[in-house]
Amino acid sequence: MTSRLRKPHILIAGGGIGGLTAALALLKRGYDVDVYEQAAELREVGAGVQLSPNGIRALHELGLHEPFRALACEASGKQIRLWNSGQTWRIFDLGAESVERYGFPYYMVYRPDLLAVLADGVRCEKPDAIHLDSRCTGFEQTVSSVTLKYDKAGTENKVTGDALIGADGVHSRIRQALFGHDHPEYTGMLSWRGVIPMEKLPHHMRGTIGTNWVGPGGHVVHYPVHRGEYMNFNGIIERDGWQVESWSASGTHEECHACFEGWNADIHCMIDSFTTPYKWALMARAPLDKWSVGRVSLLGDACHSMLPMLAQGAAMALEDGYILARAMEAAGADISQGLARYEQARKVRTSKVVQGSAENGRRFQSRTLADSAAAQEYVDREWTPDKVRQRYEWLFTYDVTAVPV
Ligand SMILES: Cc1cc2nc3c(=O)[nH]c(=O)nc-3n(C[C@H](O)[C@H](O)[C@H](O)COP(=O)(O)OP(=O)(O)OC[C@H]3O[C@@H](n4cnc5c(N)ncnc54)[C@H](O)[C@@H]3O)c2cc1C
């Protein structure tokens, strides 16, 4: 139990999307928070994320909707295009309809913009809360405290607090220290990422719509970010061999073109237009049985990394961060109870999203799409308004402020 006379002190390993959201949500509820981030600067390899209304609700509640809106792009809708012919189906409207149905818009955002908005929010509450160049290596806990170990400029440091949250992403050191090494399985899919200055693309490819190209054994998602100044490209293709899961690994344009041989000229035009083609092997991890032990818990990709096919990883990290703060507050001075409540509130939903993401991947890359006539029938069958609603409605309507903790 923690003394009522001082604020509980929460340590967070990892200053990514989930770690910064948790930090801000906790600071706003009166906790003292310190975040330890390995990067020397809060800047990431350029890439985009799509953020659905369920995630935006958390940003709104934290007072960040307006600064975020100024940098992001609001999606007017989503369309499907066929890998070779480019035939196009509009599958749903977002824009005003998203606000009407779910309370908030659907945005497409450049990751460094989202991180900057979150970091500014944290620093407004506590200017020195974010410790950069601090690589977390492990922890020790007792019944009354937890000590985080981290390396800074080659020196080992220690800090003691009341709780530790491992928000240190897919390769989480805190998860390893809690539960040992994990054994991710290569999905057989490689993801190519690139950011393209919008002026390099022909007019018909610009606009505020999110596009999913679907094809046999692959799919490509692209959407505008950073006030529409860039197009974010993410092309996923079945490939053997490469199994490195890293934001910073890169390949060549030739390799990327070869992966999409036979695909529409618009795809190759985008590949030609990005400076560096980054590649990432998509690995699958089964959801964890347990996230918390005593005063230590996990958040975001550290405990439920998922394939990107429902575009929910960042939204789940935002939801986790917000719910963590609510659960801690609801449990009062009992820190372990707060973490247990958080885990209880989040596990079923996030496991369902992990599973739904894998299913959507199979849908986007069906072999049926190889044949144009069969493809038409397949798209008409798989993306009926009813089916689309079934797949997304439960995600978008989730309310971080109202779910029981
Ligand atoms: C190809 C691809 C496309 C995606 N598209 C989408 C999308 O459209 N929409 C969406 O919602 N999600 C998407 N995602 C998922 C999304 O990016 C992640 O789910 C989200 O970033 C998770 O947030 P996080 O805070 O858990 O992890 P991260 O944002 O990865 O943050 C982890 C942080 O911890 C730091 N860190 C790591 N190890 C240490 C350490 N030892 N010590 C200190 N700091 C450490 C890292 O530097 C990083 O800052 C996509 C993912 C991929 C791979």
Q: Indicate which CATH number applies to the domain containing 362.
A: 3.50.50.60
Report whether pLDDT(125) > 60: yes
Q: Can you tell me which atom of ligand 1 is nearest the CA of 15?
A: 49
What does the pLDDT look like over 40-72, one tens digit per residue? 988 766 689 999 999 999 999 999 999 999 999
pLDDT confidence of residue 290:
96
In a domain, 268, yes or no: no
Question: What token pair was written down for 13?
Answer: 């390993």
Q: Considering just the CA atoms, what is the radius of gyration of the chain in Å?
A: 21
* CB distance 130 to ligand 1 below 6 Å: no
| Run of H or E residues at 152 | strand 146-152
Report whether pLDDT(242) > 80: no
Ligand 1 mutation pick, 168, 172, 392, max ligand atoms within 8 A of CB: 168
Cα–Cα distance, 36 to 149 (Å, whole number): 10
On whether the CB atoms of residues 16 and 115 are closer than 8 A, the answer is yes
What does the pLDDT look like over 276-307, one tens digit per residue? 999 999 999 988 999 999 999 999 999 999 99
Cα–Cα distance, 10 to 32 (Å, whole number): 6
**What is the Å distance from ligand 1's center to 301 Cα?**
6
On whether the CB atoms of residues 293 and 373 are closer than 8 A, the answer is no
pLDDT confidence of residue 5:
62
The predicted model gives 381-401 an average pLDDT of 93
In a domain, 402, yes or no: no
* CB distance 136 to ligand 1 below 6 Å: yes
Question: Catalytic annotation on 378?
Answer: no
Domain count, the chain: 1
pLDDT confidence of residue 4:
53
Among 106, 150, 223, 378, the active-site one is 223
Residue range of the domain that includes 144: 9-183+285-396
On whether the CB atoms of residues 264 and 85 are closer than 8 A, the answer is yes
In a domain, 225, yes or no: no
In a domain, 247, yes or no: no
pLDDT confidence of residue 2:
47
pLDDT confidence of residue 396:
96
In a domain, 108, yes or no: yes
In a domain, 172, yes or no: yes
Backbone phi, psi, residue 210, to 5°: -90, 135
Kindly indicate the confidence band of residue 401, based on its pLDDT and cuts at 50, 70 and 90.
Answer: very high
Q: Which of 168-172, 365-369, 386-390 has the lowest mean pLDDT?
A: 386-390
